[in-house]
Amino acid sequence: MITCQHARQLFDRYLDDELSSSLQSELHAHVINCTPCQNHLAVLEACGDVIRLDKCEPAPSESFTDRVLAARREQVAAGRVRARGWGRLVWRIGAPVAAAASIVLIMIVGTPVFDAGSTPAHPTVVGSSMQAPPEEVQRNLLRAKGRELDPQVSQELAQVPQMKALPFLEALINPLVEGTRSAVAGTRRSYEDLELLFHYGFNGMNERLVAEYRQKYPEISPQEAERVLSDLDILKKALQPDQPADEPSNIEAAPSTPAPSNAPASPDAI
């Protein structure tokens, strides 16, 4: 025969439906003959039943379904469906950054590309695959004149090892960063992404960043997180000037849309 103390210790497992049938029989036998335990259990069961059955919460507005579907249509139409999560954003920022970095690489390995304000002499360096046509780079350079670099960006860039052409890269990168900032400012979530990106810096992207992102946006699957990591690796490499001379071509070859993984995502991992 079990004691009251033991019986009460079993209540939770009983209510969780995790009690073996033999213990359950013993518990029943005790409760039938013990009024205090009977009352104790009755209160616990009644609380559960009220929570289960007393649906006194208000309902969403009548227009809720239509609003969700309208927002979904807008989301699709505006291309806000971020099937690639980070990849898209990183590429949006990464493309100009990688373009800038590739210029720096070329400069470091001794091939002068162009002077600020003039047409690039070597269009292939910032070629079409980098999504930053020479005209745009030139325009950005002109816009950058006389401006101060965002201190945060400056700090990030200062951490890049052996950045011999830092002032040049700063002048190039600042308007691009600003442009990207304003381009994404329309959507809070994207903006938060960007803040996160700047918080950790271009050179400090790592698993910590992705872990935080995943915590913030649980629907992002591990596969997407992996792709983010690989995108970040590409960026990191792009920002390291002590890479081999063939690095620019590697950067250009980097896929902006890696093949989607077929591995299933699990709710516990999102």
Angle at which helix 35-53 crosses helix 21-33, to 10 degrees, equals 110
Binding residues for another protein restricted to 204-223, rule: CB under 8 A: 215-221, 223
Binding residues for another protein restricted to 83-142, rule: CB under 8 A: 83, 85
When asked if residue 64 is in the footprint of another protein (CB under 8 A), the reply is yes
- Is the CB of 23 or the CB of 265 nearer to another protein? 265
Handedness of CA 224, 226, 232, 234 (dihedral sign): negative
When asked if residue 78 is in the footprint of another protein (CB under 8 A), the reply is no
CB of 106 to another protein, least distance (A): 38
When asked if residue 255 is in the footprint of another protein (CB under 8 A), the reply is no
Answer whether 8's CB lies under 8 Å from 14's CB: no
Query: How many residues sit in the footprint of another protein (CB under 8 A)?
Result: 57
- With CA atoms as reference, report the closest residue to 82 among 239, 202, 192: 192
The DSSP letter of residue 150 is: P
15 alpha-carbon distance from chain centroid = 39
Phi, psi dihedral angles at 257 (to 5 degrees)? -130, 85
Site track for another protein across 166-205, x = CB under 8 A: ----------------------------------------
- Is the CB of 11 or the CB of 200 nearer to another protein? 11
CB of 183 to another protein, least distance (A): 19
**Angle of CA points 8, 14, 19, to nearest 5°:** 115
When asked if residue 21 is in the footprint of another protein (CB under 8 A), the reply is no
Handedness of CA 245, 246, 252, 255 (dihedral sign): negative
Please select the residue that binds another protein; options are 5, 20, 57, 117, rule is CB under 8 A.
57
Quick one: tokens of 11?
């209540």
Contact residues toward another protein (CB under 8 A) are 11-12, 15-16, 39-40, 42-61, 64-65, 67-69, 71-73, 75-76, 80-83, 85, 215-221, 223-224, 260, 264-268, 270
